[in-house]
Amino acid sequence: MSAASLVPPHGGTLVNRIVSKAQAAVLHEEAASLPRIELSNKQACDLEMIAIGAFSPLTGYCCKADFESICKSMRLANGSVFPIPVTLAVECDVKATLAEGGRAALYHADGTLLAVMDVTEIYSHDRDIEMDGVFRTTDDAHPGVKAVMDEGDWCVGGDIHVITVTPEHDAVEQFPEYRLTPAQTREAFEAKGWKTVAAFQTRNPIHRAHEYLCKCATEICDGLLIHPLVGETKPGDIPADVRMKCYETIIEHYFVSDYTMLSVMPAAMRYAGPREAVLHAVVRQNYGVSHFIVGRDHAGVGDYYGTYDAQEIFNELNDGDLAVIPLKFEHAAWSNKAQGMVSAKTFPKIKGDQIFLSGTKVRELLDEGQRPPAEFSRPEVADVLIDWATAEATVAG
């Protein structure tokens, strides 16, 4: 099967900013005399996403024209859809060491040299247009807004030349067997004979409603990619290693292996709701996905976005803007009367019939050592979560 059978990367070309071993040796030598920028967790996640082509067509951190165009119109300066600016914001003391037209060395917080960057442009970080355009709020209780507010006053734009994306001591902890690049997922899809692939984005364990969405999508596609985000998330989210065990468990017991694939996405969450739903669709297109599940309050947080805003934003795009097709699902829940998962489109509402549990309620049950009901969570997944919650309580006690 040829690569042409899969959807094309966004922008037509799958970016790869990882240099050869020979080039890496040269960059190591050069970096010793370059200004140093230590990346935040979010910036390091973004570097990896750029490097492996997940953020194609980006080849580096955004320059001013792209930054402003993205914030105002959800597009790069050249007109291509890109909903969230990927910036390298630095403090004034770091900015003072840089010069436009020069280069800088980018380091992980642990001291690992990750990349050398072309310093194409240095510009003032306009937080107001970023918060208004991307997050639709300036409330610093919003975790995405808070992250922007905490970033530096200056943005550095330019291409990156990447030596490595994961420090060696972190390699075992970063799910290497599942950490597939877009080029690798495309190869895997071709090997499986999949032309159409549905992707499910998640930063939580898969519960019964999620399972229902995944299986509906699998029915209309050749295969399913369960693609959890394992980059930076907010405090209180269930740790990535626990979630990965949940995914492995539910796939083993309740999915068909020939039609299911698990891989991770090393992105940082922005919690930008509608804008982030579009970003997640762009990213999945780069991974070779043709259909992308967009459920209730996708990538949202709190009450900042409407229940289906993340679906409706796709109506603002033009034909041809994206090759990936959004699958817009209603809120699903277990119905006692129907004895199965239903949505507002598939079963009439009956007072007291459907079982809805919030993430907060589930966490309360886990903290008390109680199993979430089988109508909400598969028992094998609940066991994993209870074990984790019990261990957490023991440490805290």
Q: Is 179 a catalytic residue?
A: no
Q: Which residues have a Cβ under 8 Å from the Cβ of 145 and sit 6 or more positions away?
A: 131, 135, 137, 138, 139
Pair of tokens at residue 304:
């900042």
- Out of 103, 186, 203, 284, the active site residue is 203
364 in the Ramachandran plot: left (φ > 0), alpha (ψ -120 to 50) or beta?
Answer: alpha
Cα–Cα distance for residue pair 233/264, rounded to 1 Å: 14
Rounded-to-integer distance, Cα 160 and Cα 140, Å: 30
Is 376 within 8 Å of 336 (Cβ atoms)? no
**C-beta of residue 303 within 8 angstroms of C-beta of residue 273:** no
3-state secondary structure of 67: helix
Residue tagged active-site, from 16, 41, 204, 363: 204
Say how far apart CA 295 and CA 13 lie, in whole Å: 29
**Is 78 noted as a catalytic residue in this protein?**
no
Residue from 141, 124, 282 nearest 201 by CA: 282
Q: How far is CA 120 from the centre of its chain?
A: 27
Element spanning 395, H or E: helix 379-396
d(CA 265, CA 26) in angstroms, rounded, equals 29
Question: Which residue blocks in 131-227 are alpha helix, DSSP H?
Answer: 143-150, 182-192, 208-220
C-alpha separations of 167 from 112, 120, 309 in Å:
6, 26, 38
Distances (CA, A) of 324 to 64, 338, 389: 28, 33, 37
Which residues are tagged catalytic? 203-204
